[in-house]
Every structure is written in structure tokens, then in C-alpha cells.
Structure 1
Amino acid sequence: MARLDVTEMFQDISFPGHLHTQDSLQQAVEFNFQDTDILIASYPKSGTTWMQEIVTLVYSRGDPHLSQTVPNWTRAPWLEQYYCTAVLEASSAVPRLLTTHLPYRLLRTAIQDSKAKVIYVSRNPKDVMVSFYHFHKMANFLPDIGSFPEFLDRFLEGKLHFGSWFEHIIGWTQTAAVSNLLHVTYEEMLLDPQGAIKKISLFLQCPLAEDEINNCVKHCSFSSMKDNKMINYTLVPQEIMDHSKGSFMRKGEIGDWKNMFTEEQRRRFDSVFSSKMQQCSLQFVWEKPDEEEPNEEEKLPQNNTEPRK
């Protein structure tokens, strides 16, 4: 199923036709969630693959065998992609691990009466946008996005594939309809991986011993994931994802947006962000904390290491 130049419009949102059809999108919004299901929800390039890996490792108690032998799209299929039904029918795994990039408004009816657990993954939108821009360069199933200023315009207007980042994060984080929802940030996973993994494991009712958490941290590190063919998408044919034009696992940093934004673009982004997020209380980590050598007083233990969420 190539369809590399096909765009599917569904509920006023565009999706790449390579993996999405009208039928698969409709099946997603009508999906019959089981109470034991685990759903990872995110806007693209927010840490989705990372969370798939963490959850796999948590249920494996730090053993990397599954994550190193089974592709992530089989372990945690995308609910809205055409192959999802076949993958689920072929699997006897309980709980079922699912992934989605759909906004909450499209899944509200399907999930609001379910006890399924939802892990929502977010990332500061400037880094999301830069990562998504670079991904467009290598993903031949995504449209040509032109220059970075043009891409910035489309991101702020919510006209990229998968819709508006603003709608996505507000929809999932400001609703009270999903009672079993855990919000985890990309920055939190990067700055405090042990804490993030412990929080996720407790939410999944799968508490881990310290050595198991350490094994999870080791095998979901950026360097480990970048070398893992089951999650770095090098198994995907070059005509679909051209790795000569970039790497799916690119940098794994906080604040890379500063290498792309001009001062004028930053001011424009901040203005739109302030306008669209004025009713949202979430705070974001926009850059990596200062790494300057601390003085003797600052070397004392401080209880302020957890990033803002």
C-alpha cells in the first residue's frame, strides 16, 4: 500500500494516505476499547516512539528482548492506520498496547466510557515543530513543506497533517472525561528518566525494582534506541522513508528550536502561543537547564530536579 502522494481528509484534518484510509480512520473513532487496553496518545514528534519503548520495557521488567526483536508498530500499532485490525487479531497480548495521533475530539465517544488507561505524551511545541520539519524531509509519504518559514506558518495555522498541535494538547489535557490518564512530558523523560519510568510503571500497576528501572533506563536511552532497528525505522524501505536525507532518531535534545528560529520567528510563535493557550495552565520546558559548574553551596542536594509539567 504505497499511496505516497495521497492525502486523506477526515473530520477537517489531513492524514497521509500511505497508512491511513477513510475506513481505517472511521474504525478508529468507533474502536471498541477493552478496559485493559493501554493507549499512548501524542502529537507527532512529541516522544511517541520513546513512550512505546518505555511501556514495552516496563511490562518486560527491563528485559530488552521484545523491544529488540519485534517492530514497535507491531508491539504498539497506530489505532488509525489500516493494518491495526489485522495486528490486533493476530495478537493474544493482554494488555493490548495501542498508539494514536488522533485528537481527543475524534476518540471522545470511543474512550469516554472505557476504563482503558491513556498515557498522553507532550513536548514543547517549538521542538515539536523543528523535529516535524526535519521528518518531512525524509518521509516521502508526507507532502513537500517548502521552507522553514512556510512550515512555521502551517504549524501555527494548524494546517499540517494530523491537524493543530494546540487543539491536540488542549483536548487531551484539559478534559475530565478520561479518568485514567497520565500526562508525561518529553522533557521529563529526558531530564529524569528514572522518575518518569517509575511514575509510568506505577500508573500501569506494574511497579519495578530498582535494578529493573535501571535496565529500562539503559535500553530506552537515545543512543540505544537510535541503534535499534525495531524502532529507528531503518526497516522501512527507502522509497518510503529516505534515511539518506536524515535520521528518524535525530538529536533527542531540549531546545534545538533555538538553532532554527530567528528572533522575529520566535516573537511570532510566542504571540500565537500566548493567544491560543491563554486558557491552558500547562507549563513547558523550552531549553535544557543551565549546565554551568555549580559552586560549593549549589552542590548540596536540592529537591527541585523534577521538570515542570
Structure 2
Amino acid sequence: MAVQVTESTHRFDKIDGEYLANGFLMYPFYGREYMQKIPDFPLDSRDLLLATYPRSGTTFTQRIISGLKHGSDAISTENFNLFAKFPHLDLNFDYYHSCNLNYSGYEIAIKQDVPRFIKTHVPLSIAPKSVHKRSKVLFVLRNPRDILVSLFNFHKGDSTLNFKFDFDTYFDMFLEGCVMNGDWCQYNAEWLDFCNTNPNRTLVITYEKLLDDFETNVRRLAKFIEIEVTDKIIAQVKQETNVETMKKTTLCPGIDNFVRKGVSGDWINHFSKEQCQKFDQWIEANKKKYPQALFDLVGE
């Protein structure tokens, strides 16, 4: 059932420093040493773990939560340090000359007082083992067609990677799970099953629903993290998390256009007719392996 990428099945050129972890492809900014530590990270029952496949609306969700917790004024400028306030557990790398930065989300998170808001892109098989006993989990999904396009553009703008693939090649890489964080279906099916098994301390939401009905879904989110909100607070947070504002306030050193379009359905402007057909076939094949509920959530 699981799609495991191996050295023998990975037929594409390699990104410098990439490696495999439990059959999922990891890029060099996911420090291998810390990846081995993550399963033993001690989550607390009061912590919130935000789990997402990359480019699923993660930063958008982080900004929303930060606005609810710290106030809309706090997130209204680029001085708000999202990487420190809401650490990325698996992002750990030594000094990058290209962006004048070093960072360890693991070290930041482990030193913070609880309750903590922590972000991760790791698959469930690598996540802190303590998540099976405690902590809240917010799981955010996004349609895989849009994720493919967003990931491609994200990597193109990343000066820390030697990314040299064209879109057609990357399209095939995505369908074969040979991209950062591996196979979309396997990754999301595992986390969705976890959430369904632990309904009292998990919340599942989609990027598309956040865009379509911001107010209703932010109220759901606020209730889940136990923060009281008003119509005014939600309106203020909405203003500070619209895409044009976030382009100015949400920056990532070394990456151009970290916040790009913030829309749903942009994939249609990038897929050829043949790729549309190929992706449809990929979806149908995976529906035989994974629960229909996964595809229903993202409009497939």
C-alpha cells in the first residue's frame, strides 16, 4: 500500500545533500542528525503540533494562529519572527552562505516553555512518538495539483538548493514520490488516519476551506486551540493574512517569492492536456490504495 522511494526506484537526478528517511525523500535543510532525534522529541499535552505536507497553506495557518495568540498588530510587520515564535521542528541546518543564516527549529522548540506551537512536515512514521499519547495536532491538507505547482516554484526560488529541473520533469518526480517529503498520498493518508483515530485532540482542515470560508474555519481553529475570538479579531487577522500583506510581512531568507499567489486552482494554468490526463490517472490509481475520504477532502 505504501509507496516507498528507494535508491533503486529514484531515477531522477539528485539534489545535493538529499537523503531518504523511512522511504520519504528529505532535502539537506532537514538536517539528518536532527531527523534522527525528532522521534524522541518530548511533546506536552498542552502543545500544538501543526502537521502538513509542504506548501499546504502551512505558513498561512501559522500566521492565522499567531495573529489569534499575539494579536493582529504583532504579525503586521516583517519583524514578527515566525521561525522563532512557531518553530519548524524538522528545519535544521548549518550556516548557509547564500542566505547568511543558520537555524535549528528543534533546538528552539525544545527550549521553549509549554504550551508551544510547533510546525512539522515530517511523515507520521518520523514524528515525535509522544504524539501518539499527547499533544494536539492540527492537520492541514491542500489539493495535490496546486501543491505540485507551488513546490516547483518554491524550489526554483530557493538559492540554497541546486535545483535544475524543468516543470515537465518535476511533474513526473511528484507522481513518483521523488520530491521533498515524498509521496503526497502516503504522507497525508497516514496523518489523516492518525487524526481519525484521535478525534478528541486533532483537527483536520483544508487550505481550500480556509480560503472559501475564512471566518467559519478560523472560529473552528480558535476553539480548538482554546483562544476566544470576536468578529473584530477575525477581521483583523484576515486583513493581516491576505496574500498581498503576507508578501510584505512573511519573508524567508534565501527564498524568492516565499509567498506566491495564495489561491486555489492555479494548477490549471500550468498543466498540459496530457499532464491533466496523467494526473487524473494517478489519482484514480491511488484511490484503490488509500481511503476515498482523503481525496474527498481536497476535491478529488
Return the TM-score normalized by structure 2. Answer: 0.83
CA distance in 2, matches of 1:104, 1:272: 23
Where does residue 155 of structure 2 map in the other structure? 136
Q: Secondary structure at the match of 1:166?
A: helix
Aligned length: 269
CA distance in 1, matches of 2:223, 2:17: 41
Deviating more after overlay: 64-73 vs 40-49: 64-73
Q: Secondary structure at the match of 1:105?
A: coil
Where does residue 28 of structure 1 map in the other structure? 38
Q: Secondary structure at the match of 2:137?
A: strand
Letter in 2 for 1:194: E
- Alignment RMSD (CA, Å): 2.0
Q: Against the structure 1 CA distance between its residues 103 and 89, is the aligned structure 2 distance closer, same or farther, given a 3 Å change threshold?
A: closer
CA distance in 2, matches of 1:270, 1:110: 37
Do the aligned residues in 1 keep the contact of 2:55 with 2:151 (CA within 8 Å)? yes
The alpha-carbon deviation at position 143 of structure 1 amounts to: 4.5
Q: Against the structure 1 CA distance between its residues 141 and 34, is the aligned structure 2 distance closer, same or farther, given a 3 Å change threshold?
A: same
Do the aligned residues in 2 keep the contact of 1:136 with 1:145 (CA within 8 Å)? no
CA distance in 2, matches of 1:14, 1:274: 23
Q: Secondary structure at the match of 2:293?
A: coil
Establish whether residue 7 from structure 1 lines up as the match of residue 18 from structure 2: yes
Letter in 1 for 2:292: C
The alpha-carbon deviation at position 43 of structure 1 amounts to: 0.7
Q: Against the structure 1 CA distance between its residues 79 and 10, is the aligned structure 2 distance closer, same or farther, given a 3 Å change threshold?
A: same
CA distance in 2, matches of 1:86, 1:32: 12
Q: Secondary structure at the match of 1:25?
A: helix
CA distance in 2, matches of 1:147, 1:76: 33
Establish whether residue 87 from structure 1 lines up as the match of residue 127 from structure 2: no
CA distance in 1, matches of 2:206, 2:45: 24
CA distance in 2, matches of 1:25, 1:40: 17
Do the aligned residues in 1 keep the contact of 2:56 with 2:141 (CA within 8 Å)? yes
Q: Against the structure 1 CA distance between its residues 106 and 86, is the aligned structure 2 distance closer, same or farther, given a 3 Å change threshold?
A: closer
CA distance in 1, matches of 2:61, 2:87: 13
The C-alpha deviation readout for 1:208-264, integer Å capped at 9, x for no partner, is 111111111111111211110xx222xx1xxx33x2xxx111111111101111111
The alpha-carbon deviation at position 81 of structure 1 amounts to: 2.4
Q: How does 1:253-268 map to 2 (within 5 A)?
A: 253-268=263-278
Do the aligned residues in 2 keep the contact of 1:28 with 1:80 (CA within 8 Å)? yes
Q: Secondary structure at the match of 2:234?
A: helix
Where does residue 224 of structure 1 map in the other structure? 245
Larger radius of gyration: 1
Establish whether residue 63 from structure 1 lines up as the match of residue 82 from structure 2: no
Q: Secondary structure at the match of 1:65?
A: coil
Q: Against the structure 1 CA distance between its residues 143 and 177, is the aligned structure 2 distance closer, same or farther, given a 3 Å change threshold?
A: farther
2:292 pairs with one of 258, 280, 285: 280
Where does residue 299 of structure 1 map in the other structure? none
Letter in 1 for 2:26: F
Return the TM-score normalized by structure 1. Answer: 0.81
Q: Secondary structure at the match of 1:214?
A: helix
Give me the identity figure in percent. 26
Letter in 2 for 1:112: H
Where does residue 45 of structure 1 map in the other structure? 55
CA distance in 2, matches of 1:95, 1:136: 32
Unaligned 5+ segments in structure 2 are: 1-14, 93-103
Q: Secondary structure at the match of 1:121?
A: strand
Q: How does 1:82-231 map to 2 (within 5 A)?
A: 82=92, 83-92=104-113, 94-107=114-127, 109-114=129-134, 116-175=135-194, 176-179=196-199, 180-228=201-249, 231=250
The alpha-carbon deviation at position 108 of structure 1 amounts to: 6.6
The C-alpha deviation readout for 1:264-293, integer Å capped at 9, x for no partner, is 11111011111113433231556xxxxxxx
Q: How does 1:230-241 map to 2 (within 5 A)?
A: 231-233=250-252, 236=253, 240-241=254-255
Do the aligned residues in 1 keep the contact of 2:42 with 2:128 (CA within 8 Å)? no
